[in-house]
A = this chain, B = another copy of it.
Amino acid sequence: MSKRSQGVPLSFLMLDPSRGTGPLHRRLYERLREAILSGTLAPRSRLPSTRTLSRELGLSRGTVEEAFAQLDAEGLLERRVGSGSTVALPEHSRAPRSTRVRGGASSARGAGLSRRGRRMASDVLPPEARDVRPFTPCLPALELFPAKAWARAVARQARALVPERMLSGEPEGFRPLREAIAAHLGPARGVRCDWRQVLVFSSTQQALDLTARLLLDEGDGVWLEEPGYLGARVAFDAAGARLHPVPVDAQGLQVDTGRARAPRARLVYVTPSHQYPLGVTMSLPRRLALLEHARASGMWVLEDDYDSEFRYATRPVAAMQGMDAAGRVLYAGTFNKVMFPSLRLAFLVVPDSLVDAFASARASTEGHAPVLTQAAMADFMEAGHYVAHLRQMRQVYAERRDALLDAWRREGHPALRLGEAEAGMHVTAFLSGRRDAQPRMEERRLGARRLSPLYLGRAREQGWVLGFSGASPAGLRGAVRELSRLLE
């Protein structure tokens, strides 16, 4: 590359087609993102137009356009039609850090990190919600949480801190909590397990991260739902896995496509009860086909049952784990969505053959979650507060969903079509052919999340993930009205 554009040296963007995996637009996007987040490309610096850049890098303009669109969607670029784009700071400003004096160019570029460290540092998850907006996905109705019953359980367990409880706990988790989880999952979710198979984690993310390390080596293939959950993509990417996006249709994951594209993949990540983000339920034939492929090929199935306790028209669909006779399914669930996000308790039910390996790995990578929060959660469950809270939230979220659907019928913008809303804490709104019309700053104010970054490959649909569980019916009605106005 002989020319430099607008003063920013772009040679680091040159892609070597013989190295790396994944589509070119994705690799370009990742380099740019890393450069922006690390400060190599400073805030407010200007990038050349996609036309200029595609010429300089020898890439198709569509490739560059796709990369820029995603950076724009994530708020890392500010694009101006006809002229170049400007590096933005993400709205979730990293100001306290990024305004500090850095240790010079080498540290800004992440010198001293390992290769996998650079991958981990650049796989930036969108920040968790730090305030309550009407459409923030997966946000519980915090104002209705039985805070007093919880505080009593915590205080009771804090007072019960006898020396025996002060010693290190088991790496698998606090036994009364493991028992309470196993007892709940059988009737509630059709999960078949003994309490010894239940391992306690801090979050689904932590469970995914450890699973990826224990079951995958660098370069091992993983099927990911397309579109799908970013946390899973980040965990498997950090482990150096080769990511295979497998499309999701109205029946759920297209198992045949996955088998054709990556027959020897070592693991599949699925959300069969309520696909994130599309909201579909995986059909029985697809479940059976997936389990059969897993059995025959030795593939592990990671079933993430993140919000499936909430189903409004019918009974919750049983977990796939209960149908697995071959011991291939790992079942993940979390309390951070049903209770509250700062709690930090989640769990994984693993096949018996993996219990010892997970226990050793838990010990050598962390130890265990605090006994206090585990004991308080077990107390809260044993006293019946958990099931009562679930039951109340099922009703509250149904009302909120109804309020959203009702407002949508009256005031929803015709360019937006709503997806499945039978279950869970969110619904996806699809935008018909108007990508450039997406108003960025305002969607953030509403808490809506863009759909396009949830595609690993080229986004087939544009739109937003709209949470409905965290806001009042009135708040949701106002947010529908505002979103429609923004699209005028």
Contact surface of A with B, Cβ cutoff 8 Å? 37-38, 94, 96-97, 100-103, 107-108, 110-118, 120-125, 127-132, 139, 142-143, 145, 147, 150-151, 154-155, 158-159, 161, 163-169, 196, 202-203, 205-206, 209, 213-217, 220, 231, 234-235, 238, 266, 298, 300, 327, 336, 340-345, 351-357, 359-361, 363-373
Q: Which residues of B contact A124 (CB under 8 A)?
A: 360, 363-364
- 11 pairs from A and B in contact (CB 8 Å cutoff): A96-B196, A107-B354, A120-B360, A120-B365, A130-B168, A155-B158, A165-B342, A203-B367, A205-B367, A343-B370, A343-B372
CA of A342 to CA of B173, assembled, Å: 11
Q: Which residues of B contact A37 (CB under 8 A)?
A: 356, 360
A123 partner, pick from B158, B213, B351, B360, beta carbons under 8 A: B360
Chain B nearest CB, measured from A310 CB (Å): 18
Q: Are A113 and B357 touching (Cβ within 8 A)?
A: yes
CA of A139 to CA of B151, assembled, Å: 29
Q: Are B365 and A206 touching (Cβ within 8 A)?
A: yes
Q: Are A151 and B145 touching (Cβ within 8 A)?
A: no
Q: Which residues of B contact A159 (CB under 8 A)?
A: 151
Q: Which residues of B contact A155 (CB under 8 A)?
A: 151, 154-155, 158
- Extra A-B contacts (16), CB below 8 Å, given A125-B364, A130-B168: A38-B356, A103-B351, A112-B354, A113-B214, A117-B216, A120-B365, A123-B360, A131-B164, A132-B163, A143-B163, A151-B158, A166-B341, A167-B340, A203-B366, A205-B364, A372-B372
CA of A87 to CA of B114, assembled, Å: 40
- Closest residue of chain B to A358 (Cβ to Cβ) is B121
Q: Are B217 and A116 touching (Cβ within 8 A)?
A: yes
CA of A147 to CA of B162, assembled, Å: 9
Chain B nearest CB, measured from A206 CB (Å): 4
- Closest residue of chain B to A372 (Cβ to Cβ) is B373
Q: Are A366 and B206 touching (Cβ within 8 A)?
A: yes
Q: Are B340 and A166 touching (Cβ within 8 A)?
A: yes
How many copies of this chain sit in the oligomeric assembly?
Answer: 2
Chain B nearest CB, measured from A452 CB (Å): 20
Q: Are B357 and A214 touching (Cβ within 8 A)?
A: no
- Closest residue of chain B to A201 (Cβ to Cβ) is B366
A300 partner, pick from B112, B164, B202, beta carbons under 8 A: B112
- Closest residue of chain B to A370 (Cβ to Cβ) is B344
Q: Which residues of B contact A167 (CB under 8 A)?
A: 128-132, 139, 142, 340-342
Q: Are B112 and A353 touching (Cβ within 8 A)?
A: yes
Q: Which residues of B contact A355 (CB under 8 A)?
A: 97
Q: Are A114 and B357 touching (Cβ within 8 A)?
A: no
A97 partner, pick from B97, B196, B345, beta carbons under 8 A: B196
- Closest residue of chain B to A96 (Cβ to Cβ) is B196
Q: Which residues of B contact A166 (CB under 8 A)?
A: 142, 145, 340-343
CA of A154 to CA of B201, assembled, Å: 21
CA of A329 to CA of B321, assembled, Å: 46
Q: Are A235 and B102 touching (Cβ within 8 A)?
A: no
Chain B nearest CB, measured from A172 CB (Å): 9
Q: Which residues of B contact A215 (CB under 8 A)?
A: 112-114, 117
Say yes or no: A214-B121 contact (C-beta < 8 A), given A168-B342, A238-B365, A344-B368: yes
- Closest residue of chain B to A353 (Cβ to Cβ) is B107
Q: Are B353 and A102 touching (Cβ within 8 A)?
A: yes
Q: Which 5 A-B pairs have the closest CB atoms?
A: A107-B353, A128-B168, A166-B340, A117-B214, A121-B357
Chain B nearest CB, measured from A354 CB (Å): 7
Q: Which residues of B contact A371 (CB under 8 A)?
A: 342, 344
Q: Are A114 and B206 touching (Cβ within 8 A)?
A: no
Q: Which residues of B contact A217 (CB under 8 A)?
A: 114-116
CA of A343 to CA of B157, assembled, Å: 13
- Closest residue of chain B to A154 (Cβ to Cβ) is B158
Q: Are A110 and B357 touching (Cβ within 8 A)?
A: yes
Q: Which residues of B contact A368 (CB under 8 A)?
A: 344
Say yes or no: A342-B169 contact (C-beta < 8 A), given A132-B163, A360-B124: yes
